[in-house]
Structures are given as C-alpha cells and as structure tokens.
Amino acid sequence: MTRPRALLTGCHGFTGRYVTAELEAAGYEVIGLAHDGDPPRPGVLRANLLDRAAVRRAVAEVRPGMVVHLAAISFVAHGDADEIYRTNIVGTRNLLEALAEVDPRPRSVVLASSANIYGNAAELPITESTPPAPANDYAVSKLAMEAMARLWTGRLPVTLVRPFNYTGVGQGEHFLIPKIVAHFRRGERVIELGNTDVSRDFSDVRDVARAYAAIVDRAPAGEAVNLCSGTAHSLDEVLAVMAGIAGYAIEVRVNPAFVRSNEVKRLVGSNARLRELTGFAPSIPLAETLRWMYSAPW
C-alpha cells in the first residue's frame, strides 16, 4: 500500500530532523520543503516561502495528505524585524494559499506558533485561553500568523501548536541551554549570560517531535494547543544540574549586551489540552535531556 504523504517545512532545521524521524516511524512518506538556497537532497523540494509561485508548484507536486509547517525565523533575538514578519506571516500565508488550491486538500495542517505570544502572563500555568501579551517582534509575528491562519479554517483543517522552550542535541549554541552545555563540555570555567532571573518550561526535542506526530494523527482542526512539559526550571537549576553532570561549578558573569529589557521572566504552561486531544504529553526530565546533550558525540 502507498504510504500517506506528509509535507514538512523546515525539514533541515533542528526540530525538523526529529519530526521527520517520528513521522517516518509512524508510516508517513515525508517530503521536505527547504529554502531555495539549500543544496538538493533526495525527498526534499526547494522553495522560498516568500515566492508564492514556487510554493504553489511545490505543493501541487507533493499533494500532501498531512502538513507540518515548522519553517520560521525562530530566534527571539534575531536582528532583522522585517525578515521576521515577512517569513513568519507572509510565508505562512503563501503556504496556506497553495494548500487550499490542491485537490484533494490535506486532512491535517499543523502550524507551529509559539508560547512567546503569551508574554509575561499574570496567572500560571498558562493555558490556551490565557490572553496573549507578546513582548517582542518574534512573538507579535507569531500572534499575527495565528490571526491570519484563522482566515483559512473554513478551507483547511488547521491546528495551531504553541511550543514552549525545548532543547536537545543539534540545537545551535546561540540558544541558552546548548550554550551552557557546550561550555561545560569544553571545560570552561566562566560563562557570560544575560538575564539570569528567568524560569522556563523546557521540553526535550524528542518529546516535541512525538507530540507533533500525535497531533498530525489526531488532526484536531480549529484547535490551539500548548506543547509543554508543565514544569518550570530556573537558570540556577540548569546550572546546578550541569555542575553535577560535569563535576564542577562554572562562574556566571552577566554581560549587559546579552540582557533583554523586555525579557519574559517566567514561562510555564499547562499541557492538559494536548493530553486530552492526543493522549500524549512530554515526559523526558530536563536532567535526562542535559545528560544526553553533554554526552553526545562532538
């Protein structure tokens, strides 16, 4: 029998590699959609999301039954606001437009938004009904993407996924946890950080990939779903766990250049809706994730 076909944007990214593996394990034929500047690879089509015609051609060629849209400018401190808004909003719209034109239309379209849309929420844990309060351009772009995507819910079975922080092997060192782990791996004695009074709900990327696969399978159209562990960890906790793994404590120096004036201080979510809709929720403890990252081959 022919395997169901899934289209995955952002297939070469940190998350995309893990989601590809989970979808393939679930029996899907995964066709990637990568930036037109990426080198050719088997099973991957190339198109710039801002090129409407190219996106339309790629979608018409794939005719996917399921779609997971991960491609985005995902680094909060990315310096080019224009690129953030164009990629995260216009690029997503181009994809939805192309998907609405294909016949038959996909039965599940999963769009990656972000828990950053909640900002500094007054009440914790954050649920899907928590009022949005975006505190940076990245968060505003994702909230605007959600509003735009709802224009397509009459034509496409769209599910909005709001991932909280997650990490794992392969994430770039410009993200906080990989930066900390890399310093310990190299045996460095000093690390420069920005805001140290923050707590985050960290999941393991392997759990995140399983959650995306579960959402694709259940296809809860019209829903917005938090993707989180439900547990917050402070930066001090992360440093303490890493000190135990590496066998020494590292000196932390605050670098004013890394401090964000509009930093979200505490971010922890509820995964009750995820569990209700899919029967799955992230469960890998952060300490296990940190050990995995620390011991991974260089």
Tell me the CATH number at 20: 3.40.50.720
Is 275 part of a structural domain of the chain?
Answer: yes
Whether 83 maps to a domain, the answer reads yes
The arithmetic mean of pLDDT across residues 210-226, rounded, is 97
CA distance 209 to 20: 8
What is the chain's mean pLDDT, rounded? 94
Q: What is the pLDDT of residue 1?
A: 61
Q: Has residue 135 been placed in a domain? A: yes
| pLDDT value for 77 | 57
292 assigned to some structural domain: no
Residue 181 within any structural domain of the chain? no
d(CA 286, CA 202): 7
Q: Give the torsion sign (CA, 42, 44, 45, 51).
A: negative
Domain count, the chain: 1
- Does the residue 195 lie in any domain? no
For residue 180, CA distances in Å to 92, 177, 211, 229, 289 come to 32, 5, 26, 20, 13
The answer to whether residue 39 scores a pLDDT higher than 80 is no
Residue 78 has pLDDT above 60, yes or no: no
Cross-strand bridge partners of residue 9? 33, 69
Give the domain extent around 34.
5-167+205-230+268-283
Pairing between β-strand 199-200 and β-strand 233-234 as defined by DSSP bridges: antiparallel
Dist. CA 43–CA 40, nearest whole Å: 9
Percent of the chain with pLDDT over 90: 84
The pTM of this model reads 0.94
- Residue 194 within any structural domain of the chain: no
* 136 found inside a domain: yes
